[in-house]
Amino acid sequence: MPRSAHTISRRQISENALKVLYRLHKSGFKAYLVGGGVRDILLGLAPKDFDVVTNATPEEIKRLFRNCRLVGRRFRLAHIVFGRDVIEVATLRGHHVDNTDSGDKIAKTNASGRLLRDNVYGTIDEDAERRDFTVNALYYDISDFSIHSYGGGLQDLDSRTLRLIGDPETRYREDPVRMLRAVRFATKLDMNIEAKAAAPIPNLAPLLKDIPAARMYEEVLKLFFAGKAKKNYLMMRKLGLFNPLFPLIDTQLNEEDNAPVVKLISQMMDNTDLRIAEEKPVTPAFFYAALLWYPLSQRADDIALESGLSSYDAYYAAMGDVMEQQCNSISIPRRFSTITKDIWQLQLRFERNRGTRAFKFIEHPKFRAAYDLLLLRADAEGGAIAKSTAWWKSFVEGNEEQRSVIARSASKNLPRKRRSNQGRRRKPTAEQDKTDS
């Protein structure tokens, strides 16, 4: 498609991406803006990233840019760093051949067909066939400002169809994360996954268990922290993709639709989307605290029954177990997992800190996050937890004078602890003193 036939302007491309494209072009290499950057501009969206492909090898790219670092083993990439902005540059991929029997292992797959290593370079035509979806096989050529579309990508943009390039099962086996990308693109771009592309997903979903936990953490951020959490959650459950990521919670979600766990997670997803729409901060710590609250409660009950520990101690023991099991599928950084445990621990203190203790309790740095989870639990469960939450809501939303009245009234109504006589020494009588002497 020549420049005169499309709407992409260089004004819509980041200045740093243009610098990379022009330097590659002036150095005698082919250079294209590719994938999401081209796709989103054509759809009238603001691109999040500007990726570049070229026929220059990673080593040749590094020689051209002093601000370049090479990354990746499975796919060798060049990152051109402009302060906080990073332009990712890939060499055009060719058709891979598994040479595991030869000395030169340029490509390698495992038993399930997943690509473990693949640094095979080729032409733009071959690179396009290696792309996952047709709407991502779009190339903006900096040499003449034309667009190269492969596999009917432009037509699929118009019809809002998400179509895989090649045989779906083979492509999913090469990289199971493509199943999650299909969900994410479908909701982000308001597209329908082609029936042929959707059909193999439920059977192949377990392949996600073989993906490194660190990579899955990044995919979860893209799925649930971009404003489409609720839609992605529902589609993942429909296609069987939720279980490999969150096995602890998926079994509980198979209960009736009005179960507390279903209500809490649904409301949490809605709240996350709302906060992002309002440009408010969201954190993985709260996300995992809410998502795993009921598995934590179940594990704590099991521990208390098996060991005879108090409910409080059982919850503490369960926190480590639940977090460890979740990290087997999704690697949660400690800076978030620690806060998640703080939020859980504070749930146990709400009932004990009503009354005058509430003034000190609300000063805890993680109080607000714990309080937000308490509100979700109250909406999901009702009953006693809703009654306790109503008191906290009136206290949190009241002014200083109102809080004092609310706290005093609660302190009067709290049951007083009986003082035990065990261990207390009575003052001996004169007769006892004489006997002791």
Active-site residues, by number, are 49, 51, 132
CA atoms within 13 A on the CB side of 269: 16
CA torsion through residues 271, 277, 283, 284, sign: positive
**CA–CA distances in Å: residue 401 to residues 210, 363, 408, 412:** 57, 17, 11, 17
Ranges assigned E (strand) in 188-301: 192-193
Query: Residue 46, exposed/middle/buried by CB under 10 A (0-12, 13-18, 19+)?
Result: exposed
**What CA–CA distance (Å, rounded) separates 314 from 299?**
8
The secondary structure of residue 4, as a DSSP letter, is G
Q: How do strand 85-91 and strand 51-54 relate by DSSP bridges?
A: parallel
Q: Which of 295, 396, 388 lies closest to 340 in space, CA to CA?
A: 295
3-state secondary structure 199-220: CCHHHHHHHHHHCCHHHHHHHH
Beta bridge partners of 71: 77
Quote the tokens at residue 180: 């999650």
C-alpha 21, offset from chain centre:
31
Whole-Å CA distances, 18 to 29, 64, 98, 138, 179:
14, 15, 35, 17, 32
Q: How far apart are CA 100 and CA 48, in angstroms?
A: 37
- What residue type is 261 in one-letter code? V
- CA 291 to chain CA centroid, Å, is 12
